[in-house]
Structure 1
Amino acid sequence: MTSTTDLLKVRDLDVQYGPAVALRDVSFDLPPNSALAVLGPNGAGKSTLARTLSGLVPPVRGSIELDGRNIAGRSPEYIRRTGLVHLPEGRGVFAGLTVLENLRMATMGDRRRRTESLNRALEIFPVLGERAGQAAGTLSGGEQQMLSLARALMVNPRLVIADEMSLGLAPKMVDVVFESLQRARAAGVAVLMIEQFATRALDFADRCLILQRGRVAWTGPADDAGSELLHRYLGDTTAA
């Protein structure tokens, strides 16, 4: 039986691009302050799922409830206001602006609220305070992802969708990304993670959902997604 305290509930989700089926009968739950690793081979529908949850792609069937409110098919702006922030593949920062300017642009609230949000972001990520006057484009890849996440947290989200945040980063910078996401969880934010490093994602997450050809191939506790299961569904390269 599904818990009534789940932050996100997805039921029977179908998504199509014209006649092509991208997602079919996708259902899962995500409790508050938890982490879900969404894994699967290329073309499995992972990024389509993220884009649908955040309102960038409309579903043709199914429901998406965030904190009891059905957000399926609503605008990205509406969904963001309800507490879901999508960090798409890519850094998502303004390279020519300073770190501080990037953070200030993340919220358009009143001055007091803006200051509180800025202080909160710098408390979670103190290294950004040290880089406040530095152009965002001169940060390392991992630090840019940290800045992107800090910008998202300034709007006090309930749920962050992290879509391939470690893509193209050196191993040391991948550590920075995972540490940043862990800090977000410590601040009370739930995380839905789409990640190329399956074993790292499973170490981070509470639960795992494996997509294959747009359908849920397996779901369960992250600790139960052993190497045999990963190789069966993801293949040798993706499961590593």
Structure 2
Amino acid sequence: MNTSTPLLSVRDLQVRYGPALALSGVSFDVPAKGALAVLGANGAGKSTLARALSGLVPASTGRITFAGRDIASASPDAIRRSGLVHLPEGRGVFPGLTVHENLRMALIAAGAERADAIDRAFAIFPVLGDRRRQRAGTLSGGEQQMLSLARALMITPRLAIADELSLGLAPRLVDVVFESLERARAAGVAIIMIEQFAHRALEFADRCLVLQRGSVAWEGAASAAGDEVLRHYLGEAAGA
């Protein structure tokens, strides 16, 4: 683990949905260029964590520090502009806009005007270049997932939260997702990976955080989260 000041530091994070406690006492660090796998059974709080970090749901208590700044009460737009992007499952594209227009909108939202950014997106996903004038809503599910990834990765954020990006994708497209995130990491982007394919996430990550009923049940090096740990905390999901 990098011993310098972490890029992201979370301390005693608590999130409530009305009277229900969704996250309780969650603490962890992510160093610059690091990769953290967040695992857990359905309902463990994984997506709530992603939404809290990206400002989509408010923290009840606790501290979230990103690049030295407290973002626990910041707006989603301010958090995204600071370099932390949330890539949710469910595509997250504008179906009525073309592929090229979707990419342009992402640049505007990020406050970026980089002439080579869209070319970089098409270099990562050549099929999107072939579909640049096609409306996003007419793309296949896998192509929409590529477009969602391209929108985020072309502006090279400092940290990306990959939230169940492989959900419902064919094996070939799951490979594309992981390859794209590897390219982002190679470019210096830190990754928080919330993923159904536990073993693939552990191969990708440096560290692992296992959530159980909204709390941290296990944390350690990804290489130490073997089958016994996965079976104990994830049950049948460990076979994914």
What is the TM-score when the length of structure 1 is the normalising length?
0.92
Query: 1: CA distance between counterparts of 2:111 and 2:197?
Result: 40
Unmatched 5+ stretches in structure 1: none
Give 3-state SS (helix, strand or coil) of 1:150's partner.
Answer: helix
After superposition, what is the alpha-carbon deviation per residue over 1:159-182, rounded to whole angstroms, capped at 9, x for unaligned? Answer: 111111111111121111111111
The residue that corresponds to 1:30 in the other structure is 30
Q: Look up the match of 2:131.
A: 131
Residues 96-128 of structure 1, C-alpha deviation per residue, up to 9 Å, x if partnerless? 332212111112289992423223333433442
What's the CA shift for 1:192?
Answer: 0.6
Aligned to 1:217: 217
C-alpha RMSD over aligned residues: 2.2
Q: Is the 8 A contact 2:81 2:111 kept in 1?
A: no
Q: How far, CA to CA, are the matches of 1:150 and 1:102 in structure 2?
A: 10
- Letter of the 2:206 counterpart: D
Q: Which amino acid aligns with 2:172?
A: K
Separation in structure 1 between the aligned mates of residue 238 and residue 106 of structure 2, nearest angstrom: 34
Cα distance in 1 for partners of 2:93, 2:18 equals 32
- Indicate whether 1:47 and 2:47 are aligned: yes
**In the aligned structure 1, how far is the partner of 2:110 from the partner of 2:217?**
46
Residues 142 and 177, structure 1, Cα contact 8 Å, conserved in 2: no
One-letter amino acid of the counterpart of residue 197, structure 2 = F
Secondary structure of the 1:113 match is coil
d(CA) in 1 for partners of 2:189, 2:206: 14
* 1:201 corresponds to 2:207: no
Match of 2:185 in 1: 185
Superposition pairs of residues 1-240 of structure 1, within 5 angstroms: 3-108=3-108, 113-240=113-240
SS at 1:108 equivalent: helix
String of CA shifts for 1:1-50, please: whole Å, max 9, x gaps: 98333111111111111221111111101011121110000111101100
One-letter amino acid of the counterpart of residue 124, structure 2: I
Q: 1:237 to 1:133 in 2, by over 3 A?
A: same
What is the CA-CA distance between 1:209 and the residue it aligns to?
A: 0.4
Does the CA contact (< 8 Å) of 1:91 and 1:145 recur in 2? yes
Contact 1:10 1:26 (C-alpha < 8 Å) held by counterparts: yes
**Poorly superposed stretches of 4+, deviation over 6 Å:** 109-112
Q: Per-residue CA shift, 1:187-227, capped at 9, x if unaligned? A: 21111111111111111111110000111001111111101
Conserved 8 A contact 1:143-1:176 = no
Counting matched residue pairs gives 240
Identity %: 69
Is the deviation greater in 135-144 or in 164-173?
135-144
